[in-house]
Structure 1
């Protein structure tokens, strides 16, 4: 549950950065935030998949 929530928060952060980058206040750092948040979301999603696979392997589901 916490991993899924973290993925969702990372995706929301990426959306926020993208929206802000598209405004007059947007800077390059907002674009860096988008890329960083998407990378973190991808890594967390990969971790979630490995975690689920491992728990199924150990019969902890």
Structure 2
């Protein structure tokens, strides 16, 4: 597996992890404090931001010849 392919897989796994974390915080967390809500917001931002970064990386890495 090339470093480029590993990076794409890693971004995908991170996106899924952020989505799982955001769903857990907003849907299933028993304790709804300010810190937990802030972490849920950060998970939601990560869920939206990681695919944007993944597309940016893919477009940039497509031009690199290995």
TM-score (ref. length: structure 2): 0.69
C-alpha separation in 1, matches of 2:54 and 2:65:
16
Secondary structure at the residue paired with 2:62?
Answer: helix
Q: Which 4+ residue blocks in structure 1 deviate beyond 4 angstroms? A: none
Partner of 1:31: 37
- Aligned CA RMSD, in angstroms, stands at 1.8
Q: Which residue, 15, 18, 21 being the options, matches 1:7?
A: 15
Unaligned runs of 5+ in 2: 1-8
Moved more, 3-12 or 47-56: 47-56
